[in-house]
Chain A
């Protein structure tokens, strides 16, 4: 099953040590066939709202940096516990903040 992980918060200016640890974590999970895709996200982003058929587009919906989604990872795992374990390791590297973990439904789910 696949899970999409979204990470909020974390250090805005990561030092070299953190970057190296992250690179190793990504390399390791990709090599193990677990990590399918990952990337960092532009902090502000663009928001689109449809209301009564009317589309409104605004920039940067987040007022605080810790609220911004900073990155995502798409993983393929055997169980929810495996997904949580990976998220836990990720938070162990990047430090305080919030992660959102959603199962991505496939044909079997």
Chain B
């Protein structure tokens, strides 16, 4: 029954609606067929263009989703025919493709692909919104306050990276599942938070992101029903979203959880959250970070008034969460919960542990929380300083006014010269030239923000200043550190207080980009689970001191086995030592030509690389740099205190690095 009247919207509007409802399934089905997500999306877009051309004339078909799928599939078959006509009978191929039914897991495969850890976070977000949510590049750009060109570029790069890394259209196996799933959940929650924390309602796309995230989460819960963390994330998002009407006041100012009008919470979403939480609980197992965060949200949702909040339970949940997710924000929230459940002294102890965390140095809630706890301890003068500091840090005018009111309601502390007064006189001296005054001014501004304008100068200690240095400039270049140090020494000398004695002068750049040291490497080499190919690659990069890209470009036929070296395409020699020489024959395993390092599987027919990058004996492609880098990061994550993993470059010893640079310059 074709529509004759569509007063509710234009045909274009209908096509857009159909597209957003169907595109994930269509692209997923096509990816199964052509084994290339970039190509699949192009084919699906072709079908969309066909719809935009034909539907305004012919009317919207009865089953628009099926229409789009059929057109896109036909294009895919045409494409496969062109790509493979030499190898296979067309009829056979077409029959195969026609019969290829969409599998229910295809959309899930697509999600795992869009969120693959080989992609940078921003690219994962863009790919997921684009391929699974059906958003246009323009819509994504609007939501993320960036340009359409930049989003389009990000998506194009991501597709290339996926192809180069040979990411298969498969569900991750059991060993990989936890890591891959957490990458998916992270992307969904990032999208949610981007929409949730957008306070300006100027553009509806930003709040629209919470809906996209909720839909993605609900879809995931249906596709992967056996994963408690998925249900945990859904529960968390449903309950957070349930408060959306109550979390802003009449003029848009944020309303804190304990002050919200609970009657405005959306009971439908809360109940959906509870249901999701029940599903997570029924699956059992040790609760993960999303289940724990959802459980905390459930506690708040269950309290009819702020006073009825079960803080003991929430504090216990935070105790568990902080082990799995020890981020500064989680730790601060835990301090609040503990302060409410076990008293302000316990809370304050946790807050003070956070005082030196660089991630929180400009975070106004840290002094705000500290101020609250100090008030409850009757330490009003200190509390007042904290609220003033919080007011100086917040960017929200309504919140600043609120904090200043709180500060003003408390009695002031001891008299004497304050830090702000001393800093002003110090900087106003006529002997300072403009440049020095400006440089010193930056240092003094940071000290005042960190320690509080009204902090009496007499109470400042060298330890306080040292803490500010570590927090603010701990990862800065040595020159920056030393410049601030000089400013504080000058200020201390002027004020006749010892302030800089705990801050040491820095000689060189921080150790971040340093090569990995011997003890660390020994641990890496001794890990038994590292596969042979990775073992050889890492050894070779380390022993030859040649960048991984060059090592990966080597071919078996160019190896000079006797002299432990191989010639690159550019004619240079890459030489190695005993351990590589011992391992290499096992990796080559009798091959006589083709890439030295091969990927795990054969490439998709549509992505067959140039001959030089294909092994003529196994049909497998050359291992890509992106994939190699990804695998090294994954493998070194457990050894990296920061938890991010290392880059292959850090396998190159320092002396050789410098030597190479010198020779490259000469």
Chain B residue numbers with a CB within 8 Å of A81 are 8-9, 13-14, 16-17
Is A32's beta carbon under 8 Å from chain B? yes
Say yes or no: is A24 at the interface (Cβ < 8 Å to chain B): no
Contacts A81-B13, A85-B14, A108-B201 given; does A32 touch B218 at CB 8 Å: yes
A34: Cβ under 8 A from any B Cβ: yes
**Chain B residues whose CB sits within 8 angstroms of the CB of A106 once the complex forms:** 244-245
Contact of A37 among B3, B21, B215, B268 (CB under 8 A): B268
Instruction: Using CB atoms, name the residue of chain B closest to A2.
Output: B268
For the complex, is B361 an interface residue (Cβ under 8 Å from A)? no
Q: Is the CB of A32 within 8 A of B8?
A: no
A residues in contact with B214, CB < 8 Å? 33, 76
CB neighbours of B8 from chain A (8 A): 80-81, 84, 101
A33 touches B217 (CB 8 A): yes
A33 closest partner in B (C-beta): B218
Q: Mark A75-89, 1 if CB is under 8 A from B, else 0.
A: 010111110110010
A85 in contact with B245 (CB, 8 Å): no
Q: B166 at the A/B interface (Cβ < 8 Å)?
A: no
**Most central of A76, A81, A107, A108 by chain B CB within 10 Å:** A81
**Nearest A-chain residue to B18, judged by Cβ:** A85
Would you call B563 an interface residue if the criterion is a C-beta within 8 Å of the partner chain's C-beta atoms?
Answer: no
| A12–B526 CA distance with the chains assembled, in angstroms | 73
A91 CB to closest chain B CB (Å) equals: 8
**B479 part of interface (Cβ distance < 8 Å):** no
Question: Given A33-B216, A92-B1, A108-B204, are A82 and B21 also a contact pair (CB < 8 Å)?
Answer: yes
Q: Name the distance in Å between A100's Cβ and chain B's nearest Cβ.
A: 12
Check A36 for interface membership: any CB of B closer than 8 A: yes
Which A-chain residue is minimally distant from B271 (CB atoms)? A37
Closest A residue, CB atoms, query B20: A78
Within 8 A of B (CB), among A39-54: none
Q: State whether the Cβ of A31 lies closer than 8 Å to any Cβ in chain B.
A: yes
- A101 surroundings in chain B (CB, below 8 A): 8
Q: Is the CB of A31 within 8 A of B218?
A: yes
Verify if B208 is at the interface (C-beta below 8 Å from A): yes
Contact with A along B487-531 (1 / 0, CB 8 A): 000000000000000000000000000000000000000000000
Question: A102 to chain B: closest CB distance in Å?
Answer: 12
Q: Which among B6, B208, B244 is the interface contact of A107 at CB below 8 angstroms?
A: B244
Closest to A36 in B: B268
- Cβ-defined contact, B222 with A84, below 8 A: no
Nearest chain B CB to A55's CB is how many angstroms away? 26
Expressed in whole angstroms, the Cα–Cα distance for A84 and B208 within the complex equals 19
Which A residues touch B244, using CB under 8 A? Answer: 106-107
Cα–Cα distance between A23 and B353 once the two chains are bound (Å): 55
Q: Mark B1-40, 1 if CB is under 8 A from A, else 0.
A: 1010010110001101110110000000000000000000
Q: How far is the CA of A81 from the CA of B10 in the complex (A)?
A: 9
Residue of A nearest to B213 (CB): A33
* Chain A contacts for B223, CB-based, 8 A: 31
Measured between beta carbons, the chain B residues less than 8 angstroms from A85 are 14, 17-18, 21, 64
**Can you offer 14 A-B residue contacts whose CB atoms are under 8 A?**
A32-B21, A32-B219, A76-B214, A78-B211, A79-B16, A79-B17, A81-B13, A82-B17, A84-B9, A84-B14, A85-B64, A106-B244, A106-B245, A108-B204
Given A76-B214, A82-B17, A84-B8, output 12 extra A-B contacts at Cβ < 8 Å: A31-B219, A32-B21, A32-B219, A36-B268, A37-B268, A76-B211, A78-B211, A79-B16, A81-B16, A85-B18, A101-B8, A107-B244
Residues of B within 8 A of A (CB): 1, 3, 6, 8-9, 13-14, 16-18, 20-21, 62-64, 201, 204, 207-208, 211, 214-219, 222-223, 244-245, 248, 264, 268, 272
